[in-house]
Structure 1
Amino acid sequence: MSSIKSMRFLKPGCTFVIAEAGVNHNGNVNLAEKLVFAAAEAGADAVKFQTFKAEQVTTKHSPTAAYQKKNVGEDNQWKLLRPLELAESAYPNLIKACKKAQIMFMSTPHGHIDSAKLLKPMVSVWKVGSGDLTNLPFLKYLGQTKKPIILSTGMATIAETKEAVKTIEQTGNKKITILHCTTNYPCPPEEANVSAILDLKKNFPRYPIGYSDHTLGIEAALIAVGYGATVIEKHFTLDRSMPGPDQQNSLEPAELKKMVEKIRLVELLRGSGKKKPFKSELIIAQMARKAVIALTDITKGNKFTSKNLTIKRPAKGGLPPKLYWKIIGKTATRDIPADAQLKKTDFK
């Protein structure tokens, strides 16, 4: 984790943005490399792929999800996944491209220890897909590597998430980040439930919480950052018109760049969470706030009343309005012209 961008990972106040290339390379290493540079150009902190062998992920008779069948017309998962595999020989080139682009290389090992063993020397951080949250033997293996783990929680209950986290903790690994996620592609707005981030924060107070976004557009990701998400993961592609199960649900490079820019803005807008005035406000307060002012000419020896006192701007140099009641009934020690600020020595 040596690049400047990678240093944003788990840094307080910073959102680590993962550009999920996934299988949008369609098994083509040249296309995968283009995705690396596109992610870096967009300002993402990491680009993530998926590492698997179809026969280790699914049976040869497993059906596809409805969205997959709709997007590619294939009703068999094994047949769908086979052409989307990246050859082992592709990884050195991808890592080289990531170093050149100064972006962190990541890849999700899909539920099989063989894939994790292949990736172990290549990745600094594990990313676990939602489908493996209940794959406790797999989580135990990843935990034993002592590398940080980012855990997606799509389809999961709090109880299931606690069981997954406990499995990792039992290996002595406490470097866990938990991502809220809804496993639906695209995720309709009514199922995004972005505020579930707060529920995860409540149930896992010791761990950073983030968001893996499967909605269309960038709004949900920005809301998540507003809620304090430390990691944002978002699918992207070079061109949504390309074939593939995830292309249509992905951002294109210009959209990804806009999302990153807006995330950085939201980080600034979100602030520290502590209510206190800024230095710029303290300067403005001298003019915007008010002071006790003579409403009429006041002769020395006269008493101050609600008929000869008022409260107006500016505050600078005057007495704060909270002293108004204390001054009422006091006696003027000098002649005070109308519209003049009162001083501490003006009454007794």
Structure 2
Amino acid sequence: MAVSIGGTSLGDREPVYVIAEIGLNHNGDVDLARRLIDAAADAGAQAVKFQKRTPEISTPEHMKSVLRQTPWGEMTYLDYRYRVEFNRAQYIEISDHATVRGLDWFASPWDEPAVEFLEDLGVAAHKVASASLTDRGLLRALQATGKPIILSTGMSTLEQIELAVEDIGTERLVLLHATSTYPLPPHEANLRMIPTLKALYPSVPVGYSGHEQGLQISLAAVGLGAVVVERHITLDRGMWGSDQQASLEPNEFAALIRDIRIVSEALGDGVKRIYPGELAPLAKLRRVTA
């Protein structure tokens, strides 16, 4: 597993790579996006991730005219998508801020023009949202960039995942187990898919993209071998937006990363040995020596 993002190697012998998914939790506000970047950096994340759409292309036809209540009044779903989308100048501002804070940054492109848009800005990697796993034109466009590709596998079958991997290849691929329920109930987490994916694709780093409330499921994912963890971040779960309830607030995100580091250290290397801390109890308590 030799995939690297922004100079950081991903793999079983490397620290877990933590992605703070800002997504659309910025609600189209650059200042809010900057504050979310700061929160992610202060928590100890390695990367922040956004979403990039060309709304006219990426919005399903049956959704375009659906009316939605928003903080800016009632508008069609298509108009809402335009309202929260950052333009090039805004992306330059937030990407510069992420770089200054020492974070890798990238986004989930939802259509092929969005791939070109992000490539022009020099992203460190590309993320494929679970909803886009079957968009083979998008996958081939991403493969052609030569960048690392992080593929979320929610709402997909193993057969669909196999076809996506065929289009992308395994050389620069990272797979994330995910269940696309927001927020995620524990009985749908199915974390044993992490070792399943690792067995199916032994040369590919496997991680976890979580949409649950709380920290326990993400920590269990690390215990099962996830080398990447992606979680949504928000300043306040009470804010407007469809992803807020499945997000972690800054203090929770910091606690998650703290506990990920502890769990990772506790996993060890699987080689049985007698540790220095055991020597005194050994001398005191063992009556029969081998």
Q: What is the TM-score normalised by the length of structure 1?
A: 0.75
Aligned to 2:89: 89
Distance 1:28 1:282 in 2: 58
Counterpart of 1:310 in structure 2 is none
Alignment of 1:15-164 (within 5 A): 15-62=16-63, 77-110=77-110, 112-120=111-119, 121-164=121-164
Kept after mapping to 2: 8 A contact 1:63/1:75: no
**CA distance in structure 1 between the aligned counterparts of 2:280 and 2:171, rounded to whole angstroms:** 45
Structure 1 residue 80: deviation in Å?
Answer: 3.6
Q: Residue type of the partner of 1:119?
A: L
Aligned residue among 191, 195, 210 for 1:194:
191
Q: Could you list the runs of 4 or more consecutive aligned residues of structure 1 that deviate by over 6 angstroms after TM superposition?
A: 69-75
Supply the distance in 2 between the matched residues of 1:71 and 1:9 (Cα, whole angstroms): 41
Instruction: Note if 1:205 corresponds to 2:202.
Output: yes
Name the aligned partner's letter for residue 128 of structure 2. V
1:295 corresponds in structure 2 to: none
Which residue identity does 2:47 align to in structure 1? Answer: A
Name the CA distance, whole Å, in 2 between partners of 1:256 and 1:148: 25
Q: Using the TM superposition, give the Cα deviation of residue 283 of structure 1 relative to its aligned residue in structure 2, in angstroms.
A: 5.0
SS in 2 for 1:255: helix
Structure 2: give runs of 5+ residues left out of the alignment. none
Residues 6 and 46, structure 1, Cα contact 8 Å, conserved in 2: no
Most deviating of 94-103 and 276-285: 276-285
Deviation sequence 1:285-311 (CA, Å, 0-9, x none) = 2333223xxxxxxxxxxxxxxxxxxxx
The percent identity for this pair of structures is 38
Check if 1:229 corresponds to 2:226: yes
**CA–CA separation in structure 1 for the residues paired with 2:76 and 2:223:** 39
**Corresponding residue for residue 172 of structure 2:** 175
What do the CA deviations read for 1:204-238 (whole angstroms, capped 9, x no partner)? 11211100001111111100000110110001111
CA distance in 2, matches of 1:174, 1:104: 20
**What secondary structure is seen at the aligned counterpart in 2 of 1:62?**
helix
Cα distance in 1 for residues equivalent to 2:230 and 2:70: 21
Letter in 2 for 1:57: S
Q: Deviations over 1:159-194 (max 9, x none)?
A: 11111111112xxx6111100000111111111111
Q: What SS does the aligned partner of 1:36 have?
A: helix
SS at match of 2:39: helix
Instruction: Specify the alignment match of 2:278 in structure 1.
Output: 281
Deviations 1:29-77 (A, max 9, x none): 1111111111101111111111112212114532799xxx799898964
Q: 1:71 to 1:246 in 2, by over 3 A?
A: farther
- The farther-off stretch of 225-234 and 101-110 is 101-110
The structure number with the bigger radius of gyration is 1
Higher RCO (Cα < 8 Å, 6 or more apart): 2
C-alpha displacement of 1:274: 2.5
Could you tell me which runs of 5 or more consecutive residues in structure 1 were left unpaired when the two chains were aligned: 292-319, 323-348
Structure 1 residues 75 and 267: alpha-carbon distance in aligned structure 2, compared to 1, 3 A threshold: farther
Identify if the C-alpha distance between structure 1 residues 74 and 156 changes in structure 2 by more than 3 Å, giving closer, same or farther.
farther
Q: TM-score, normalised by structure 2?
A: 0.90
Q: Indicate conservation of the 8 Å contact 1:61/1:77, yes or no.
A: no
User: Residue 36 of structure 2 aligns to a residue in which SS?
Assistant: helix
CA RMSD of aligned residues (A): 2.5
The answer to which of 275-284 and 119-128 deviates more is 275-284
**Corresponding position of 1:238:** 235
Larger relative strand fraction? 2
